[in-house]
């Protein structure tokens, strides 16, 4: 059993985010404040599903070049777009000067990587031999393979430390924080780039449709009439460094993490949320915090019947009805393997700007939910946020973020 002692905080000394709401944290914050959703009727490729998606605009309008051609695919274009925002590359270059390229790890999360390339290649199979098109064969490694994203980000940033891609479905880019903490605490690196990128593809659109988990409307987390999720895409990154070395008073830091599994079912949550409870508790223990010190919980809140009610049971059992709780999926859609980093960065914005966003698209809170679900946004100083992410395979991760 893991040793659960409080951990030293790690500063998020730089961070950035691209979602359907815009490029960079400025536009994302503005959308949160103006309660403007990024969800629109599905117009992805030739998909004929009646659903809404959080598509990042402009990914079809450019290609990766200048030595990055081999990585060119929707997922890596989105990854590249993310790296260009908020001066993130400058902050990484500065960290590289301080620590050296070998002392910075890259830990990225994604669920489907560049599978869209393989989907396209299969349509172009040779009718006689069933062979895949030649353009695709040498590109699998740099696009669809799960490590492609890690390889790409490490190449773009010129880093030479340990690197890996964590892929545990929706919890992927929350768990990257835990892996980075371990690498730093083990002395294998001084800093880590953590993040996640997941992009729209047919596999997830038709897959969630087959599971009957897609709403026909923009998703309505915690609403009494919620009927499923909306898919989105996103890229986000954070530079994590020891708080002894970076970040003054007021800087946002990772205070704790908790990881667990349900050990119950591949695509249904544990009915009592047992795994979720364990993840949240462990995150608080590592942060050295009591539940009553948490002011805001950013829910996984996918707007499926099962997730929102099971998550509510878990959250209520730990926090009662005291902290404000909301889901931000109504803005971004469910960005799957990028949901962890998306909501970690949104939580960082909430801490910095004293904002607790009311759950967008939630018209009437499901009366069976016992937690204090926010419908309207609130403002005020916040010192500590818990962000929950739960995924397929019953894979759970909770993060505690706070101000130094």
Site for another protein in 43-102 (CB under 8 A): 101-102
Which of 33, 70, 182, 375 touches another protein by CB under 8 A? Answer: 182
Sign of CA dihedral 276, 280, 281, 285: positive
Stretch that binds another protein, among 58-66, 182-190, 288-296, 358-366 (CB under 8 A): 182-190
Stretch that binds another protein, among 33-41, 178-186, 192-200, 367-375 (CB under 8 A): 178-186
Among candidate residues 42, 73, 156, 170, the one labeled active-site is: 170
Q: How many CA atoms lie within 13 A of 384 on its CB side?
A: 17
The DSSP code sequence of 131-153 is PPPHHHHTTHHHHTSTTHHHHHH
Which of 61, 65, 210, 249 touches another protein by CB under 8 A? Answer: 210
Residues 244-303 that bind another protein (CB under 8 A): 259-267, 274-275, 278
155: contact with another protein by CB under 8 A: no
175: contact with another protein by CB under 8 A: yes
Among candidate residues 300, 325, 362, 384, the one labeled active-site is: 300
Strand-pair partners of 192: 105, 240
Dihedrals phi, psi of 78, to nearest 5 degrees: -65, -40
Active site residue 334: yes
Quote the crossing angle between the two packed helices 172-185 and 339-353, to the nearest 10°.
80
Instruction: Sketch the per residue contact string, 314 through 353, with another protein: x for CB under 8 A, - otherwise.
Output: ----------------------------------------
188: contact with another protein by CB under 8 A: yes
Return the ∠ at Cα 267 (arms to 266 and 269), rounded to 5°.
100
145: contact with another protein by CB under 8 A: yes
Continuous segment of H or E residues that includes residue 234: strand 234-242
363: contact with another protein by CB under 8 A: no
Closer by beta carbon to another protein, 203 or else 378: 203
Strand-pair partners of 194: 107, 238
Beta carbon of residue 119, minimum distance to another protein (angstroms, whole number): 5
Closer by beta carbon to another protein, 36 or else 102: 102
Structure tokens belonging to residue 371 = 């937690």
Beta carbon of residue 38, minimum distance to another protein (angstroms, whole number): 24
| Alpha carbon distance 84, 156 (integer Å) | 11
Beta carbon of residue 363, minimum distance to another protein (angstroms, whole number): 29
Stretch that binds another protein, among 114-122, 241-249, 292-300, 323-331 (CB under 8 A): 114-122
6: contact with another protein by CB under 8 A: no
140: contact with another protein by CB under 8 A: yes
Active site residue 170: yes
Coil, strand or helix at 305: helix
Stretch that binds another protein, among 53-61, 210-218, 312-320, 342-350 (CB under 8 A): 210-218
Residue 252: CB partners within 8 Å, gap ≥ 6? 11, 12, 15, 348, 351, 352, 401, 402, 403, 404
313: contact with another protein by CB under 8 A: no
Which of 26, 122, 363, 364 touches another protein by CB under 8 A? Answer: 122
The DSSP code sequence of 39-89 is -EE--STT---S-EEEPPTTTTS----TT-GGG-SHHHHHHHHHHTSTTHH
Stretch that binds another protein, among 119-127, 227-235, 326-334, 372-380 (CB under 8 A): 119-127
| Alpha carbon distance 359, 55 (integer Å) | 20
Return the ∠ at Cα 225 (arms to 219 and 229), rounded to 5°.
25
Among all residues, which ones are annotated catalytic?
Answer: 170, 300, 334
């Amino acid at each position: 059993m893991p040793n659960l002692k409080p951990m030293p905080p790690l500063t998020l000394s730089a961070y950035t985010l691209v979602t359907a709401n815009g490029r960079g944290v400025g536009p994302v914050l503005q959308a949160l404040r103006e309660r403007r959703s990024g969800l629109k009727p599905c117009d992805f490729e030739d998909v004929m599903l009646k659903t809404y998606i959080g598509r990042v605009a402009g990914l079809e309008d450019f290609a990766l070049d200048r030595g990055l051609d081999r990585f060119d695919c929707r997922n890596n274009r989105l990854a590249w777009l993310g790296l260009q925002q908020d001066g993130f590359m400058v902050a990484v270059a500065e960290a590289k000067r301080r620590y050296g390229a070998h002392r910075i790890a890259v830990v990225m999360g994604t669920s489907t990587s560049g599978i869209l390339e393989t989907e396209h290649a299969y349509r172009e199979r040779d009718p006689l031999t069933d062979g895949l098109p030649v353009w695709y064969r040498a590109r699998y490694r740099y696009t669809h393979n799960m490590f492609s994203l890690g390889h790409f980000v490490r190449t773009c940033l010129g880093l030479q430390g340990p690197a890996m891609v964590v892929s545990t479905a929706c919890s992927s880019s929350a768990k990257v924080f835990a892996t980075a903490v371990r690498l730093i605490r083990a002395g294998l690196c001084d800093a880590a780039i953590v993040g996640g990128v997941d992009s729209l593809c047919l596999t997830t659109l038709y897959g969630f449709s087959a599971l009957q988990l897609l709403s026909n409307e923009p998703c309505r987390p915690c609403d009494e009439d919620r009927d499923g999720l909306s898919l989105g895409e996103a890229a986000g990154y954070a530079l994590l460094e020891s708080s002894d070395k970076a970040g003054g008073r007021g800087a946002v830091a990772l205070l704790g993490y908790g990881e667990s599994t349900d050990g119950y079912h591949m695509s249904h949550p544990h009915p009592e949320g047992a795994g979720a409870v364990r993840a949240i508790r462990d995150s608080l223990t590592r942060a050295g915090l009591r539940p009553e010190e948490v002011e805001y919980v950013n829910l996984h809140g996918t707007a499926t019947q099962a997730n929102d009610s099971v998550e509510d049971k878990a959250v209520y059992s730990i926090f009662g009805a005291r902290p404000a709780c909301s889901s931000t999926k109504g803005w971004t859609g469910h960005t799957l393997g990028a949901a962890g980093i998306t909501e970690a960065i949104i939580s960082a914005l909430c801490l910095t700007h004293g904002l607790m966003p009311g759950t967008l698209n939630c018209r009437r809170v499901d009366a069976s939910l016992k937690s204090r679900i926010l419908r309207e946004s609130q403002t005020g100083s916040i010192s500590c946020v818990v962000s929950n992410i739960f995924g397929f395979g019953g894979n759970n991760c909770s993060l505690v973020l706070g101000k130094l």
